[in-house]
């Protein structure tokens, strides 16, 4: 793609296209279709709200990533969160409360944010927060989960709150998944998917893409297995090497080109599924979309960060509004100095340029 894509137009069109596809792929499920149709209307209203803010000089991204806990029950190999010391086995007392997260969701809805990706740690640990998310029917909450904590209580909640959409992490086949996530995890994820299928509940999957599993997770055989289980969305997330010895696993230009070609093919072939790639082609969308350009990240303690892979913050939403957090000095610096446009090897330009980001962060912003 030639030229620089308008980021606001790109993100707005992306939201509307996802909703259009979601309605199409759920027509065989009346309860889901009713919700998605209503949500499509809400998403358009949110888009108009963001467009109005844009005219007034206030850019509001369509997406927010919320790490609602730093606790996790697994020890996945190469986990960026544990490597960044933002994930642990136990939950620190200083994490945001149920009411604080609910207030963040309320502010996001008022601003016109349509999607809040719930992450962690393992977000299913915070059932209290997920219940509050379920009350915000004008926001769609993809929940990026390892799937091991799914139980009857959660399945009942998901039937009631259709705006909660689990995105199950899987690395390919059983051997690949268990090698990274632990023995028996693959079977637990499949069991959760089968129950979701039985209850006719919408769900997706997320794959951490490395040089080793790229061909497997983009293969027809892998995608067909997910399709047979009624998986409706597949996120491809590039592996971010958190140590020098893991750098060889990160996709490079050759692998990204292969991924882009396969995305064209599989989107054409599997039209009942939605395929999203992160970070995707950053250059064609005007560079990295973190730091409030397309999304930003709130960590479990309230810090507003550029993205989960760049755990730096100079403002906390406990001390200011969500909208004011978008005016973070760090965010403004990253948006204006060209860092988000830099070339990089791994899946995250901010992580690869972390020493530069740290220098900006240490300055009086």
Residue 3 reports pLDDT greater than 50: no
Q: Using one digit for the tens of pLDDT, what is the confidence trace for 296-324? A: 999 999 999 988 877 888 999 999 999 99
**pLDDT average, residue stretch 194-213:** 93
The percentage of residues in the chain with a pLDDT greater than 90, rounded to a whole number, is 49
Domains of the chain by start residue, with CATH = 7-50+62-362 (3.20.20.70)
Q: Select from 322, 168, 337, 138 the least CA-distant residue to 237.
A: 168
Strand blocks (E) in 46-172: 63-67, 115-119, 141-145, 164-169
Stronger pLDDT, 19 or 354, i.e. the higher one: 354
* Rounded Cα gap, residues 128 and 98, in angstroms: 6
Dihedral of the alpha carbons of 9, 142, 18, 42, in degrees to the nearest 10: -80
Q: Using one digit for the tens of pLDDT, what is the confidence trace for 76-99? A: 877 767 766 667 777 766 899 999
Tell me the three state secondary structure of residue 119.
strand
Residue 241 reports pLDDT greater than 60: yes
Q: Using one digit for the tens of pLDDT, what is the confidence trace for 96-134? A: 999 999 999 999 999 999 999 999 899 999 999 999 999
Residue 14 reports pLDDT greater than 60: no
Q: Using one digit for the tens of pLDDT, what is the confidence trace for 129-167? A: 999 999 999 999 999 999 999 999 999 999 999 999 999
Q: Using one digit for the tens of pLDDT, what is the confidence trace for 323-350? A: 999 999 888 888 777 766 665 555 566 7
**Alpha carbon distances (Å) from 103 to 21, 218, 298, 364:** 30, 39, 13, 29
């Amino acid at each position: 793609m030639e030229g620089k894509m308008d980021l606001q137009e790109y993100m707005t069109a992306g939201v509307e296209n996802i909703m259009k596809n979601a309605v199409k792929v759920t027509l065989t499920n009346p309860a889901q279709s009713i919700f998605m149709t209503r949500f499509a209307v809400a998403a358009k209203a949110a888009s108009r709200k963001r467009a109005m803010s844009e005219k007034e000089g206030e850019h509001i991204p369509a997406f927010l990533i919320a790490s609602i806990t730093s606790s996790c029950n697994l020890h996945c190999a190469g986990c960026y969160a544990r490597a960044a010391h933002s994930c642990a086995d136990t939950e620190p007392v200083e994490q945001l409360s149920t009411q604080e997260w609910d207030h963040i969701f309320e502010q996001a809805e008022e601003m016109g944010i349509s999607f809040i990706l719930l992450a962690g740690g393992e977000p299913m640990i915070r059932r209290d927060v997920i219940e509050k998310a379920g009350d915000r029917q004008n926001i769609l909450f993809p929940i990026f989960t390892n799937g091991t904590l799914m139980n009857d209580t959660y399945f009942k909640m998901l039937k009631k709150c259709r705006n909660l959409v689990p995105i199950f992490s899987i690395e390919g086949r059983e051997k690949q998944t268990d090698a990274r996530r632990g023995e028996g995890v693959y079977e637990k994820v499949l069991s959760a998917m089968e129950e979701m299928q039985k209850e006719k509940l919408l769900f997706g999957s997320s794959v951490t893409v490395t040089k080793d599993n790229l061909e497997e997770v983009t293969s027809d055989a892998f995608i067909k297995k997910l399709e047979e289980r009624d998986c409706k969305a597949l996120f491809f997330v590039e592996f971010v090497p958190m140590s020098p010895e893991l750098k060889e696993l990160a996709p490079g230009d050759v692998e990204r080109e292969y991924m882009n070609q396969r995305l064209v093919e599989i989107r054409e072939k599997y039209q009942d599924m939605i395929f999203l790639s992160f970070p995707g082609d950053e250059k064609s969308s005007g560079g990295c979309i973190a730091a409030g350009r397309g999304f930003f990240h709130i960590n479990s303690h309230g810090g507003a960060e550029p993205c989960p892979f760049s755990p730096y913050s100079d403002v906390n939403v406990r001390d200011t509004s969500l909208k004011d957090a978008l005016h973070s000095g760090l965010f403004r610096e990253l948006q204006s100095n060209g860092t988000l446009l830099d070339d990089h090897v791994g899946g995250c330009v901010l992580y690869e340029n972390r020493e530069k980001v740290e220098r900006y962060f240490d300055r009086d912003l």
